[in-house]
A and B are shown apart, each in its own frame.
Chain A
Amino acid sequence: MTDYEIREYRAGDLPSLLETFELCFGRPGADRPARTAAEWSYTYEQNPAGWRIWVAATKGKVVAQYAARPYRVWLDGHVRSFAEIVDSMVHPEHRMGLKAPGLFVQTARPFFDAYGGPNHPKDMVHYGWPIEAAYRIGKLFLGYSVLRSQTALAREPGPGGVELPPGVGVLERFDASVDPLYDRCKNGWGASTIRDATFLNWRFVDHPRHDYTLFAVRADDGALRGYAVYRTGAWILPRMGLVADFLVPNDEREVAQALKEALLARARTDRVSAVGLFLPEWSNWFERFQDWGFLVWPTPYNMIVRAFDPRHKLFWLRDNWWFTLADSDLV
């Protein structure tokens, strides 16, 4: 039986890690594309909140990875860390490399021990939207719990204009004006990834693969009143208009209306099949988007969590955690 060294990622692992990534994901039908070195660097090294990577290596080569993207989260007046599990993989020739429960689980277990915990800087929550096979293993061996069967709000663009509505502009980058906007929103939420310029520019503007459009509404004095982030892509349907993030205070309904019209106008220009987004069901926006003709649809995903703080477990997270597609690597 092969001997494996199961440990945290370290310098020098990247070439063989990318080779394994290519073997696992660089094939037709894979649930995600393989990563270039630039994309890997973006995902992990450039993430302003850091990286979480545990690997299994043998004969000097990485043959399994269990990894996550951490995000800084505002919760109960404190900065915490939640981490989204991504890119977990085992080299095809090593999937039977250990007796049950296998290399995937044996790489993941120390990951949780190393990074999960109730107190900052450990991750209070690990979460993700795993494919079915990974979910089944995670449920059996890694403490995955279903937080929700994930739905998406979606609608066809429908007839209408293709010009941006008055008051909506397009940003090149986010700046400090997003801070007071996020401050206005966060107090209505129990937990949310901190949407500051550092996070948002990393998540959208500096993304090496995708081009996002940042729609924004500003007040006369330049204050940011709301934004929505958009790109096109094949996701659940071919050529969708994807609303990757949406941040508008609850009482700024006309701002949200203008951003919604901007999204639909752009979607018409792009001739997309549908415009879709994630929103938590407890949010007023979940209801308002339905008022605007969005229907709630099933997706192939369960949103799963492993929560480490007994005060903020499954049901609390369901009812208090603001998230959008920005909190995922799905789009």
Chain B
Amino acid sequence: MFPADLPTLLVRPYEPADEAGVLAAMARAYGRAPTPAEWRWEMQGNPSGAFAWLALDETARVVGLVAARGARMLFEGEPVLFALVVSALADPQRRRGLRNPGVHVRTLQAFAEAVGGPAPERVPIVWGMPVPETWRIANKLLKLEAVRTQLVLSTPLARLVLAAAPGVEVEEVQHFPDAVDGLFARCAAGRGALAVRDRAQLAWRFGARPGVSYAQALARRGTELVGAAVFRPGDLDGERGVGLVCDWLVLRDDAGATSALLAWLAARARDAGVETLHAFAPETAPEWRDFQSSGFHARRLRKNYFLAARSFQKRTSMRWLYDNWYYTLGDTHVV
């Protein structure tokens, strides 16, 4: 039964009619909230889907929320869904301690029970990038564990080492074409886990996001697509005005494509008036080595410390994810 001071807390899945109440709750909890368009983009536009659970008090006011972004994955070659937690809030007036949890624990538990579970029926991996202030809740209540302490790769433009890229042409595009599906399929070969980067997903992630513009480019050798990259200027981990390598998909060991796309990123960064490039890649992926060989250095992040996950299937450990999961900044909600 409900604890005495939570007499009528109702926990249930989010519905579009809850939008105004959710945004008001976010404004109370965070001091700011997404615009309605941004929220609809997150909750309704994603071709991979979204997940959200609410807690409402006796006046039907939203006092708890867990929202997650779906990602269609190729996981050992099979299609599964991962869910990235983008918001987990409890109304400041209803928060309680970890020893005596209230809104937070009930919302998070309802979310986990409804969403998490072995593939293919359920979502086997729920993950996030909690900041220190939210790590205890993520760890204790949602049972996220560290996959890795995330480092960022960064370089001043002047340190970039660009090899020759004979025969590789880079074309900036407004939208990725259907042919990007084939590039993704070839890049996915041999990967343990990575999010699907097909035309529909990329169009939503980088083409349709309200209020944020991304520059997108393709690399071709002759008629063959050999790589894709996405850029925007912005802030990362408290550092303002940096160049963000938002996505990176290049055929393995294609040094020409790597170099050509890095040259495009550098040119885009100069155009935007920023002097550094920042990227995410797992240190277990070939891209990690490629970026370092091109002049990027690994640095700690001050705020987004852990990439953390909860596995709902026994065979997938945090170590397996550490060793096998490829992702970029675009997989996160950071950019």
Contact = CB atoms under 8 A, between A and B. Distances in A.
A295 B296 CA distance: 10
B305 A296 contact: no
A315 B293 CA distance: 30
A146 B149 contact: yes
A9 to B, nearest CB: 32
Interface of A: 132, 136, 139, 145-149, 151, 281-282, 286-287, 290-291, 295-298, 302, 314-315, 318-319
B270 interface: no
A132 B283 CA distance: 18
Contacts of A286: 299
| Most chain B beta-carbon neighbours within 10 Å: one of A147, A287, A297 | A297
B252 interface: no
Contacts of B298: 151, 281, 290, 296
Contacts of A287: 297, 299
B289 interface: yes
Given A145-B146, A290-B292, A318-B149, 18 more contacts: A132-B317, A132-B319, A139-B145, A146-B149, A147-B149, A148-B149, A149-B146, A149-B283, A149-B322, A151-B151, A151-B298, A287-B297, A291-B297, A295-B293, A296-B298, A315-B135, A315-B305, A318-B305
A310 to B, nearest CB: 12
A296 B292 contact: yes
A45 to B, nearest CB: 35
Contacts of B284: 298
B176 to A, nearest CB: 30
- Going nearest first, the 4 A-B pairs with the smallest beta carbon separation are A146-B146, A281-B300, A296-B298, A149-B148
Contact of A151 (B147, B283, B289, B319): B283
18 contacts: A132-B319, A136-B317, A146-B145, A146-B146, A149-B146, A149-B147, A149-B148, A151-B151, A281-B299, A287-B299, A295-B292, A296-B283, A296-B292, A297-B283, A314-B135, A315-B305, A318-B149, A318-B305
Contacts of B299: 281, 286-287
B200 to A, nearest CB: 33
Contact of B300 (A136, A282, A291, A295): A282
A136 B145 CA distance: 11
Contacts of B77: none
B47 interface: no
A136 B318 CA distance: 10
Interface residues of B, number: 22
Given A151-B151, A287-B297, A295 B289 contact: yes
Contacts of A318: 149, 300, 305
Nearest to B148: A149
B146 A298 contact: no
Interface in B254-309: 283-284, 289, 292-293, 297-300, 305-306
B146 A302 contact: yes
| Most chain B beta-carbon neighbours within 10 Å: one of A148, A149, A314, A319 | A149
A281 B299 CA distance: 7
Contacts of B319: 132
Contacts of A136: 317
A315 B301 CA distance: 12
B177 interface: no
Nearest to A153: B298
Contacts of A145: 146
A99 B297 CA distance: 48
B132 interface: yes
Contacts of A148: 149
A291 B300 CA distance: 16
A149 B149 contact: yes
Interface string B140-163: 000001111101000000000000
Contacts of B289: 295
A149 B282 CA distance: 11
A320 to B, nearest CB: 12
Contacts of A315: 132, 135, 305
Contacts of A139: 145
